[in-house]
Chains A and B, each alone.
Chain A
Amino acid sequence: MKTLVIGAGIAGLAAAQDLRKAKQEVVVLEARNRVGGRIHTDRSFAPIPIELGAEFIHSSQVPTYPLAQQFGLRTLYYSQQEDTLVRLSDGSLKSVAQGYSHTRRADWPPALGEESLAHYLERHQLWDKMPFKLQEYISDFDDPRYLSAQAALEYLLDPSAEEGDYRILDGYD
């Protein structure tokens, strides 16, 4: 049985690896002369590697974390609490630990159908009760007027949103 895998980013490579483990024939077709896709480490800019694409492993709750451990990769933890400064409306800088509620609200009410995240936050008057991870979600994607509230809640209630991030010191690739 032969499977074509189109694209050698992390998704295609993970698929090919599992098929090979199951003794299947696999051909991976990739357009670039490198694998990894949106994982792309650069070692020419500075004395240390920088990441042009993906940079962090988002919590120890996701499968790439044990993978990094298994390969003995050195990681550095960014707690996004004491080690992260936020600028408040008066211009002062405070740590996330001081400025944001850490514990996520267990009682986030469900979203109504396909409402926007902005609408949802407005409806429940949750604008100033946002945990830092939701603030970060917004910064990572777009204005909350354009984002699905339902999808944002699915992220917020996942264990991966409860921790900080890990950075692979010697490069994601």
Chain B
Amino acid sequence: MVETLEWGPWGVWAHTADGRVYRGEQAIVALPLGVLRAGQVRFVPELPPAKQTALEQLGLTDALKLFFYFEQPVLPPGIAELYLPGARLEEWWSSAQGHGLRGEVLTALATGEKARTLLALPEAQALQTALETLRQALGRPDLTPCKARLVHWRDDPYTLGAYSKASVGAARARSLLAHPVQGRLFFAGEHTAPNAWAATVHGAYASGRRAAQEVLQLRGPMPPIRQRPQTLGPAAFAPR
């Protein structure tokens, strides 16, 4: 795990939790927004103020996925998704179609306030709440899964939030976060994608390719590397 990124005109040093140091002429920071916002990786020196403001402005969506495995079919024939506006669980879809499974695996997604409400409940109760929503929507009070599971990314230490959201005031935050810093730090990740593609796999993928191009363009013929100041020795970042 990278704990500290020390950077300057001389390049970038990555200090890991196990006390190792990796040296590069530049770094592409492809860490999640949640990890950057929480300061899980320390930048020395700190990122410019414009980046820090953008990190604060861009929102993070809390998202919760619930999975239900049924031994019998659940959705009417030809139906793959169910959308219940205003319900405690709005989005439902089949994750089993195309597999020729006799039963059904349904996935439900909750975000924002709805996700937080469900996350405040014990897991079994959250799953039960979701099941009641489904039973009511389909008019099938008997529906009972043989297995259920709940997953979220809010507390995962290497994610700390599902994905970025463009909150009011943050229409430009993602493009600010994508900008390289002094030709040494480059940025990738879903939160650096254009608004139309952010919070997706294709947005993250394209952002990585963009960052690689930025590195290649800037570093065509290598600029001379300046001496790294002696005062910032790796000893200052020894593992705790």
A residues contacting B by CB (< 8 A) are: 1-19, 22, 24, 27, 29, 31-32, 37-39, 45-48, 50-55, 57-58, 62-65, 67, 74, 76, 78, 80, 82-87, 93, 95-96, 114-116, 132, 135-136, 139-143, 145-148, 150-152, 154-155, 157-158, 160-161, 167, 169, 172
Known interface pairs A48-B95, A78-B81. Does A13 touch B197 (Cβ–Cβ under 8 Å)?
A: no
What is the chain B residue whose CB lies nearest that of A59?
A: B202
Count, A-B residue pairs, CB within 8 A: 275
Known interface pairs A22-B216, A29-B14, A114-B168. Does A6 touch B196 (Cβ–Cβ under 8 Å)?
A: no
Chain B residues whose C-beta falls within 8 Å of the C-beta of A96 in the assembled complex: 83
Apart from A6-B29, A76-B98, what are 13 other A-B pairs with CB-CB below 8 Å? A1-B219, A7-B30, A8-B30, A11-B190, A11-B204, A37-B159, A47-B99, A47-B101, A51-B95, A62-B200, A85-B79, A116-B168, A132-B83
Cross-chain contact B107 with A55 (CB below 8 angstroms): yes
Q: B189 contacts the other chain (Cβ, under 8 Å)?
A: yes
What is the chain B residue whose CB lies nearest that of A74?
A: B98
Give the Cβ gap from B31 to chain A, nearest Cβ, in Å: 5
Cross-chain contact A5 with B27 (CB below 8 angstroms): yes
Cross-chain contact B196 with A155 (CB below 8 angstroms): yes
Q: Which of B101, B194, B201 has the most CB of A within 10 A?
A: B201
Q: B135 contacts the other chain (Cβ, under 8 Å)?
A: no
Determine the main DSSP class of A at the interface with B: mixed
Q: B181 contacts the other chain (Cβ, under 8 Å)?
A: no
Give the Cβ gap from B32 to chain A, nearest Cβ, in Å: 7
Cross-chain contact B25 with A6 (CB below 8 angstroms): no
Alpha-carbon distance A13/B201, docked complex (angstroms): 12
Segment touching A, from B48-56, B61-69, B122-130, B230-238: B61-69
Alpha-carbon distance A86/B93, docked complex (angstroms): 12
What is the chain B residue whose CB lies nearest that of A152?
A: B166
**Top 8 closest pairs, chain A to chain B, by CB:** A14-B208, A151-B166, A12-B30, A18-B212, A62-B202, A158-B196, A4-B24, A76-B98
Alpha-carbon distance A35/B171, docked complex (angstroms): 30
What is the chain B residue whose CB lies nearest that of A132?
A: B83
B residues contacting A by CB (< 8 A) are: 1-2, 5, 12, 14, 16, 22-32, 41, 59, 61, 63, 65, 67, 69, 75-76, 78-85, 87, 90-91, 93, 95-99, 101, 105, 107, 109, 111-113, 137, 147, 149, 151, 153, 158-159, 162-163, 165-171, 188-190, 192, 194-197, 199-202, 204-209, 211-213, 215-216, 219, 222
Chain A residues whose C-beta falls within 8 Å of the C-beta of B165 in the assembled complex: 141-142, 146-147
Cross-chain contact A87 with B158 (CB below 8 angstroms): no
Cross-chain contact B112 with A29 (CB below 8 angstroms): no
Give the Cβ gap from A172 to chain B, nearest Cβ, in Å: 7
Cross-chain contact B91 with A32 (CB below 8 angstroms): no
Chain A residues whose C-beta falls within 8 Å of the C-beta of B111 in the assembled complex: 139-142
Give the Cβ gap from A136 to chain B, nearest Cβ, in Å: 7
What is the chain A residue whose CB lies nearest that of B110?
A: A139
Cross-chain contact A48 with B204 (CB below 8 angstroms): no
Cross-chain contact A11 with B188 (CB below 8 angstroms): yes
Alpha-carbon distance A87/B111, docked complex (angstroms): 19
Cross-chain contact A82 with B168 (CB below 8 angstroms): no
Known interface pairs A31-B2, A167-B95. Does A19 touch B79 (Cβ–Cβ under 8 Å)?
A: no
Chain A residues whose C-beta falls within 8 Å of the C-beta of B188 in the assembled complex: 11-12, 14-15
Alpha-carbon distance A135/B205, docked complex (angstroms): 25
Chain B residues whose C-beta falls within 8 Å of the C-beta of A63 in the assembled complex: 202, 205-206
Give the Cβ gap from B2 to chain A, nearest Cβ, in Å: 5
User: Which of B25, B84, B151 interacts with A87 by CB under 8 Å?
Assistant: B84
